[in-house]
């Protein structure tokens, strides 16, 4: 690789950095004031690029391109304001987890809205009039538009700095970012300020998207891809720091550009294609920064939220009656294969449900009693699935050994990722876990020699006695039973008490001699390992595993299952997993717009039934017994 080429790619990287910076700056400003990490922020970017393309075409001509950009920014800013008024205002006081989910639900709904309005095909935008050319630089042609884009980032950075430092609006934003309650006591109308800030942030994201229309096609996968990048940038730069976001955007874009520039290099006899490792590279940058500076390059420690959260009620072991009922249910489930003649599909659906039960129960273990809201549980599902599939197809391992290999792979992954994760909390933890899941996903997608790339691994069939529907079903039932009982046993052992103590009051737990970090780390690893069994069973049930099955969507499904069932109950994840799988199998299969449906379901849980099914049942039960007592 020549030096010229490197320089050329570096300039190219600056152009990419601008778009990422615009999105990350918006995310950061919104978080600063409202303390909400807006998972729909990538959707604003996506809307920006689609709208700008359509508007530019509508206006037409040289004027049309720029009018399209401005129009898209204004429309999306207005949508952002509407979102703040209609949705976010209702959830400012809700737990962080619900805020994250609600904004993710919005992302799902926007994605389907875009699908409905613009269709599934990628759309190419117009070129920027006057900037179509290229200039000769170092013997290569550097597009003029890229130079323009490279300048947009610093320009917006300076503009934002002036806005925040010199205007009264900026002073009010900074004051409310530090202490919104005090700002309100001084007469600052928070509602108006929050709406304005949200509109500003959404508009910035839309600007980032709109300006990209001349560089890349608009596609439906942009929202999550951009969101992932923006997360990395915000975490690397430090949540809430605008200059930090720019530095991080440049860093990430340059690392990516460098990977592409270097291409295939030989490391110790192995040919490594760096251009395929761009995704992994940016997450590696993030991991390194987080080890050295846990609050990011320019970040300061986040002040603790002034809202005092309501503690979770203690868990109660199931009484004797409950035990008898559970035994009866398990016995009935064990007899299900006898009904196969009447309902041939039943064991297949039941295996799906049991896989979901293992997945949701292990997730619940870390997010409920563990208090760590993982947005990347799909990572361990994926490690388990790929581990088992690789062992079975490539190494010829028998089924049980392959399942064990999956558990080990997931457990090791959880040990590594958990080591980082337990150092963070709240939204940082959520973003980091999501990022780790993206790493696993991109490795599965890009390491073709081992994972089969985008096609995945095929022919993952179980051997006897699991090679019948009934056999696999009974194995899944046994596995689910072991996982549920084991995790329940752990929760009522001293380790479980220590885990909950670490969640409820880390300082006091430390003071009585609990190594909170280690307890949470081991809890994280245990849950991850057991989740690997869900992945392995999934691979054997479907006969294959592909990156699609372990994407962000799977992580979110898990969160929805747990919340649908009720996070404060040990039965919650089981009930939620069953109900969600049934719902997915019946309703969501019937429509192209299942994302919007899932989004609506999440919003219903967050806004109307925050206790989930079990919480609702407990309320009904309390009501009924009180009436009976009267």
Partner 1 sequence: MTDAAQGNATAGGEATAPLLEVEGLDAWYGAAQILFGLSLTVGRGEAVALLGRNGAGKSTTLKAIMGLVERRARRLAFDGQDVARLPTHALARRGLGYVPEDRRIFTGLTVAENLDVGRQPPRLLADGRPAPGWTTEHLFELFPNLAGMADRRGGQMSGGEQQMLTLARTLMGNPLLVLLDEPSEGVAPIIVEQMAQAILALKQKGLSILLSEQNFRFCEMICDRVYVIEHGELRWRGMTRGLSSLPEVKSNYAIL
Is residue 89 involved in binding partner 1 (CB under 8 A)? no
According to CB under 8 A, which one of 1, 124, 162, 182 is a site residue for partner 1? 182
Is residue 175 involved in binding partner 1 (CB under 8 A)? yes
Contact (Cβ atoms closer than 8 angstroms) between residue 436 and residue 379: yes
* Backbone phi and psi for residue 140, each to the nearest 5 degrees, phi listed first: -120, 170
Nearer residue to partner 1 within complex by CB, 238 or 576: 238
- Binding marks (x or -) toward partner 1, 274..313, rule CB under 8 A? ----------------------------------x-x---
Tokens coding 596: 């919007």
DSSP string, 105-120: HHHHHHHHHHHHHH-S
Is residue 188 involved in binding partner 1 (CB under 8 A)? yes
3-state secondary structure of 303: coil
Residues 221-280 that bind partner 1 (CB under 8 A): none
Contact (Cβ atoms closer than 8 angstroms) between residue 72 and residue 211: no
Neighbours of 305 (CB within 10 A): 10
Whole-number Cα distances in Å, 516 to 489, 496, 512: 20, 12, 10
According to CB under 8 A, which one of 189, 273, 394, 625 is a site residue for partner 1? 189
Is residue 168 involved in binding partner 1 (CB under 8 A)? yes
3-state secondary structure of 370: coil
Is residue 459 involved in binding partner 1 (CB under 8 A)? no
Nearer residue to partner 1 within complex by CB, 309 or 319: 309
According to CB under 8 A, which one of 4, 121, 122, 178 is a site residue for partner 1? 178
Nearer residue to partner 1 within complex by CB, 171 or 619: 171
* Backbone phi and psi for residue 309, each to the nearest 5 degrees, phi listed first: -75, 155
Distance of CA 591 to the CA centre of its chain: 24
DSSP string, 414-428: HHHHHHHHTT--HHH
DSSP string, 508-521: HHHHTT--HHHHHH
What's the CA gap between 623 and 104, in Å, rounded?
Answer: 33
| Burial label, 217 (beta-carbon count in 10 A; 0-12, 13-18, 19+) | middle
Residues 363-392 that bind partner 1 (CB under 8 A): none
The nearest distance, CB 623 to partner 1, in angstroms, is 20
The nearest distance, CB 166 to partner 1, in angstroms, is 10
> Total residues contacting partner 1 (rule CB under 8 A)?
20
- DSSP conformational letter for 315: P
Is residue 623 involved in binding partner 1 (CB under 8 A)? no
Is residue 455 involved in binding partner 1 (CB under 8 A)? no
3-state secondary structure of 218: strand
According to CB under 8 A, which one of 174, 215, 423, 488 is a site residue for partner 1? 174
Nearer residue to partner 1 within complex by CB, 64 or 243: 243
The nearest distance, CB 441 to partner 1, in angstroms, is 38
According to CB under 8 A, which one of 64, 115, 131, 190 is a site residue for partner 1? 190
Contact (Cβ atoms closer than 8 angstroms) between residue 388 and residue 540: yes
The nearest distance, CB 242 to partner 1, in angstroms, is 13
Is residue 171 involved in binding partner 1 (CB under 8 A)? yes
The nearest distance, CB 193 to partner 1, in angstroms, is 9
Sites of contact with partner 1 (CB under 8 A): 168, 171-172, 174-175, 178-179, 181-191, 308, 310
């Amino acid at each position: 690789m020549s030096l010229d080429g490197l320089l050329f790619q570096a300039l190219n990287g600056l152009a990419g950095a601008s778009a990422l910076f615009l999105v990350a700056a918006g995310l950061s400003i919104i978080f600063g004031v409202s303390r909400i990490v807006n998972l729909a922020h990538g959707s604003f970017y996506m809307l920006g690029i689609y709208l700008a393309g359509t508007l530019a075409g509508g206006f037409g001509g040289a004027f049309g391109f720029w009018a399209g950009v401005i129009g898209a920014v204004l429309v999306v800013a207005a949508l952002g304001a509407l979102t703040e008024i209609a949705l976010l205002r209702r959830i400012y006081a809700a737990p962080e987890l619900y805020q994250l989910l609600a904004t993710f639900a919005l992302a799902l709904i926007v994605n389907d809205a875009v699908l409905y309005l613009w269709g599934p095909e990628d759309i190419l935008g117009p070129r920027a009039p006057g900037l179509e050319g290229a200039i000769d630089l170092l013997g290569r042609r550097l597009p003029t538009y890229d130079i323009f884009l490279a300048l947009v980032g610093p320009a917006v950075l300076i503009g934002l700095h002036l806005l925040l430092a010199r205007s009264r609006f900026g002073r009010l934003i900074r004051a409310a970012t530090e202490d919104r309650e005090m700002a309100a006591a001084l007469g600052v109308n928070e509602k108006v300020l929050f709406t304005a800030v949200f509109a500003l942030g959404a508009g910035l994201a839309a600007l980032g998207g709109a300006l990209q229309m001349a560089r890349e096609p608009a596609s439906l996968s942009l929202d999550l891809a951009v969101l992932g990048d923006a997360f990395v940038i915000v975490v690397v730069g430090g949540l809430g720091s605008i200059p930090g976001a720019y530095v991080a955007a440049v860093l990430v874009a340059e690392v990516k550009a460098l990977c592409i520039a270097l291409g295939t290099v030989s490391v110790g006899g192995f040919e490594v294609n760096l251009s395929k490792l761009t995704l992994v590279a940016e997450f590696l940058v993030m991991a390194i920064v987080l080890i050295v500076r846990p609050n990011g390059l320019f970040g300061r420690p986040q002040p603790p939220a002034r809202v005092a959260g309501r503690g979770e009620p203690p868990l109660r072991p199931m009484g004797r009656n409950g035990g008898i009922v559970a035994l009866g249910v398990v016995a009935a489930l064990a007899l299900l294969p006898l009904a196969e003649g009447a309902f041939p599909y039943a064991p297949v659906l039941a295996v799906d449900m049991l896989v979901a039960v293992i997945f949701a129960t292990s997730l619940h273990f870390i997010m409920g009693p563990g208090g760590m809201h993982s947005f990347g549980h799909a990572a361990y599902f994926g490690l388990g699935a790929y581990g088992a599939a690789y062992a079975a197809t490539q190494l010829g391992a028998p089924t049980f050994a392959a399942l064990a290999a999956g558990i080990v792979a997931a457990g090791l992954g959880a040990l590594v990722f958990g080591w980082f994760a337990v150092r963070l909390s709240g939204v940082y933890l959520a973003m980091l876990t999501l990022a780790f899941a993206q790493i696993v996903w991109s490795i599965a997608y890009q390491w073709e020699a081992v994972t089969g790339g985008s096609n995945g691994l095929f022919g993952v069939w179980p051997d006897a006695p699991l090679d019948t529907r009934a056999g696999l079903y009974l194995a899944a039932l046994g596995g689910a039973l072991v996982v549920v009982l084991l995790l329940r046993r752990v929760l009522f052992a001293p380790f479980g008490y220590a885990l909950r103590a670490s969640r409820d009051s880390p300082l006091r737990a430390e003071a009585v001699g609990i190594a909170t970090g280690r307890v949470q780390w081991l809890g994280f690893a245990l849950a991850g390992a057991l989740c690997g069994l869900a992945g392995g069973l999934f691979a054997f049930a479907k006969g294959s595993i592909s990156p699609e099955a372990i994407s962000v969507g799977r992580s979110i499904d898990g969160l929805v299952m747990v919340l649908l069932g009720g996070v404060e109950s040990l039965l919650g994840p089981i009930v939620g997993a069953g109900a969600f799988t049934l719902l997915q199998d019946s309703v969501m299969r019937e429509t192209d717009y299942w994302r919007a449906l899932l989004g609506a379901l999440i919003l219903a849980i967050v806004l109307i039934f925050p206790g989930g099914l079990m919480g609702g049942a407990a309320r009904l039960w309390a009501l009924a017994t009180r009436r009976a007592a009267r």
